[in-house]
Amino acid sequence: MAKVNISVESVVDMQPVRFSRQAIEIGCSMSEGQMLDALKSFLENVNDATWYEWLKELAPEYLKDEE
């Protein structure tokens, strides 16, 4: 996935994500416009493979065949 750049007012908190060596959690303060820009930037970089991996991890029930 491509990098996503966001603009924030200030960083409030930063800490490692539990059970992951490749991620950090960053708490920040941003305006509604900055949040919209960040969300648009993020969604422009989502592809089918990324979406499938998220579904597999977060909502596997959607991947099961319907009877």
pLDDT tens digits along 3-36: 667 778 888 888 888 877 788 888 888 889 988 9
pLDDT at 67: 46
pLDDT tens digits along 29-61: 888 998 898 888 888 888 888 888 888 888 888
- 26 is written with which tokens? 């960053």
Where do we find the tokens 């493979």? 49
**Which residue range forms the structural domain that includes residue 50?**
10-63
* Residue 2 belongs to some domain of the structure: no
pLDDT at 2: 60
* Residue 28 belongs to some domain of the structure: yes
Question: Considering its fold, how many domains does the chain have in total?
Answer: 1
* Residue 34 belongs to some domain of the structure: yes
* Residue 3 belongs to some domain of the structure: no
pLDDT at 64: 78
- 50 is written with which tokens? 């990324």
Query: How many other C-beta atoms are found inside a 10 Å radius of the C-beta of residue 29?
Result: 10
* Residue 58 belongs to some domain of the structure: yes
- 67 is written with which tokens? 């009877």
* Residue 36 belongs to some domain of the structure: yes
* Residue 23 belongs to some domain of the structure: yes
